[in-house]
Every structure is written in C-alpha cells, then in structure tokens.
Amino acid sequence: MPLNSMQDLMIHKLQDIYDAENQALQAYPQIAGAVSSQELKQALQTHQQETQGQVQRLEQIFQQLGAQPGGQTCNGMQGLIQESQKIIQEGGAPEVLDAAIIAAAQAMEHYEIAGYGTARTLAQQAGMTEAAQLLEQTLEEEKQTDALLTRLAEQNVNQKAQQAGQ
C-alpha cells in the first residue's frame, strides 16, 4: 500500500501492530510453556489474555477507519519471536532460561510500545479521539507488562539465574 497520506501511514502502522499481536498470540503458549518460574508463567499467560483484548481494540479501530486489519506482515515481531524460539531450543539451566525469556519478552513488548505510541500519536493528530484513547489504553497495558517483567527479573528471576550459573 503506498503511503500517500497520514491516514495511509496510520493504517499501515495499525496493520503492522495487528499482525505483531497475532504472531505474539501464537507464540505465547510456547514461550510460557518453556519457563520454570510459576510467577513468570502466570505473567505471560495473563498478558496473552490481555493481548486478545488488544487485538479486539485494533479491530474496532479498523472498523472506524473502514479499513481491513490484514495486509501487512510484521517482520520485526517475526524476528523477535524467532529469537525467543532459538533461546528456548538452545535450552540450558531453567533459571537462566527464565532470565533469557524475560529479555526476549521485553524486546517484544518494547516493539509493541513503540508501535502503539506511534499509532496513538497519529490518531491524536488526525482528531480520532476514540481511536487514540483505545490505543493509549493498550499502550499503558504494554508498559505495565514491561514493568512487571522488569520487576520479576530484578526481584527474583535474575538472582536465581545468577546462582544457577555459579
């Protein structure tokens, strides 16, 4: 799709995010299944459920725009998921693997944070108040997930990984 207007750019960005979220939804079961920390597993499973709501919000925005949600493959998320799968396949000490999975999951979250921040700003500038609010809601959820992963890493997972590696 050629980018001839800011609305074209916003639709392009939303399609990218939509595909990223759907790829993440497919990857979460494998990622969560590979962790040994029950607290981390619960956080990943909770975010998977949250992501389903995020996809629904995106579909609502596409409906408002009269646009289709498909059409873009998110190569960025595809690469991040492949990295997480590579970490899982390589294996290792479960505690260290948990720390590596947090790092991989946070890379995915940071990608989404960037995408939602951009899309929200584009919606605001286009005067699309409802879409901007929906995108802001999702952006805050992504930031909260990132903060939770940081907290889990700093307060528990990284310490166990450090001890396992000694």
The pLDDT of residue 6 is above 90: no
pLDDT, one tens digit per residue, over 87-119 is: 999 999 999 999 999 999 999 999 999 999 999
What pLDDT score was predicted for residue 112? 97
Mean pLDDT of 73-77: 95
Residue 79 tokens read as 């690469």
Pair 27, 45: CB distance under 8 Å:
no
CB crowding 109-146: b at 16 or more within 10 Å, else e: bebbbebbebbbebbeebebeebbebbbebbebbbebb
What structural domains does the chain harbor? 6-164 (1.20.1260.10)
For residue 71, the model assigns a pLDDT of 78
Distance in angstroms (rounded) separating the CA atoms of residues 85 and 90? 9
Contact present, 75 and 14 (Cβ < 8 Å): no
Q: Give residues with Cβ within 8 angstroms of 61, minimum separation 6.
A: 14, 123, 131, 134, 135
Note the pLDDT of residue 3: 86
The rounded mean pLDDT for the chain is: 94
CA 63 remoteness from chain centre: 22
Find the mean pLDDT for residues 111-130. 95
pTM of structure: 0.93
